[in-house]
Amino acid sequence: MTEKEIAQKLRAQGKTFGDIQEIIGRKIPKGTLSYWLKDVKLPPAYLKTYKENMLKSLARGRVNSLAYSRKKQEDRMAAIRKNCDEFLRVPDPQIYKIALSFLYLGEGYKWKSHRGLQLGSSSEELMELYVLLLEKCYNVKRMDLHAFINHRADQNLLGLKRYWSKVLEIPLKNFYQSKADPRTIGKKTIKMNYHGVCVVSCAGTDKQLELETLPKVLLKNLGP
């Protein structure tokens, strides 16, 4: 029996190319084996196993690809955080006020509708940044801040006030009462981690006007 016939017989039994090479006792080129075995009918059990192995291999490939993408994104974010840390390691104090002015420009209550500083958001990080910048720029202490919560009808207001009081370290007694949004009556809150919109206020019309004016002056100075 020739090597080709032996190879065809072994392949019909479901042997792999590696198995065939080992049994025959020499490393037959894969191109030669492919030519010899192209018309051999494989057993159903082998095809089933082959398909299962292929699916497992594809699954492993997807997992590895996802892990690689995640690692790449983590490395990218680490590099960005490092650059930001280095940039703000010894910051110019004026940067704080510029940052606060743009924060207020986007989220704060404007002078024509309200006198004094007032800003609200559902974001813990944004509100914590606002309170910290007020302290850095204007020496506004947390005990001097007041707040109220814009909330949905099915939410517990006292629980929300306690939550934001703990997050922002503003005394609970400094939280005003507020009414639920009437549009939410009879509607269930979908977001489990939604704690309403916390609005923080303090006196200071001059501060408010300064924060509103800074971005306008900056725009003018950057213009042609």
Answer yes or no: is 38 within a domain: yes
Comparing CA positions, the residue from 201, 190, 194, 198 lying closest to residue 150 is 198
Whether residues 98 and 37 fall in one domain: no
Whether residues 35 and 120 fall in one domain: no
Answer yes or no: is 69 within a domain: no
Q: What is the pLDDT of residue 150?
A: 95
Whether residues 119 and 200 fall in one domain: yes
0.85 exceeded by the pTM? no
Q: What is the pLDDT of residue 47?
A: 67
Comparing CA positions, the residue from 59, 13, 12 lying closest to residue 38 is 12
Confidence of residue 184 (pLDDT cuts 50, 70, 90): very high
Whether residues 103 and 212 fall in one domain: yes
Answer yes or no: is 121 within a domain: yes
Answer yes or no: is 182 within a domain: yes
* Domain count within the chain: 2
Comparing CA positions, the residue from 70, 72, 137 lying closest to residue 103 is 137
Answer yes or no: is 77 within a domain: no
**Can you tell me the mean pLDDT for 83-112?**
83
Whether residues 27 and 102 fall in one domain: no
Whether residues 104 and 195 fall in one domain: yes
Whether residues 105 and 183 fall in one domain: yes
**Can you tell me the mean pLDDT for 129-154?**
95
Mean pLDDT across the chain: 87
Q: What is the pLDDT of residue 49?
A: 72
| Tokens of residue 212, six digits | 């509103």
Answer yes or no: is 58 within a domain: no
For residue 19, give its domain range: 3-42
What percentage of the chain carries pLDDT values higher than 70? 97
Q: What is the pLDDT of residue 130?
A: 96
Answer yes or no: is 52 within a domain: no
Confidence of residue 89 (pLDDT cuts 50, 70, 90): confident
Q: What is the pLDDT of residue 162?
A: 97
Answer yes or no: is 24 within a domain: yes
Residue 180 contacts residue 155 (beta carbons within 8 Å): yes
What percentage of the chain carries pLDDT values higher than 90? 42
The residue whose two tokens read 């037959």 is: 28
Which of the given ranges, 16-30, 31-45, 131-145, has the highest pLDDT on average? 131-145
Which of the given ranges, 11-20, 140-149, 203-212, has the highest pLDDT on average? 140-149
Whether residues 100 and 35 fall in one domain: no
Q: Distances in Å between the alpha carbon of 191 and those of 167, 188, 194, 195?
A: 19, 9, 5, 9
Whether residues 34 and 109 fall in one domain: no
CA distance linking residue 30 with residue 72, whole number of Å: 36
Comparing CA positions, the residue from 43, 12, 199, 3 lying closest to residue 107 is 199
Q: Distances in Å between the alpha carbon of 125 and those of 1, 40, 60, 122?
A: 78, 66, 37, 9
| pLDDT at residue 144 is higher than 80 | yes
For residues 152-191, b (16+ Cβ closer than 10 Å) or e, as one string? Answer: beebebeebbebbbeebebeeebbeebebeeeeeeeeeee
Q: What is the pLDDT of residue 56?
A: 77
Whether residues 28 and 126 fall in one domain: no
Whether residues 108 and 216 fall in one domain: yes
Cα-Cα-Cα-Cα dihedral sign, residues 126, 132, 134, 140: positive
Whether residues 215 and 106 fall in one domain: yes
**Can you tell me the mean pLDDT for 123-127?**
96
| pLDDT at residue 90 is higher than 70 | no
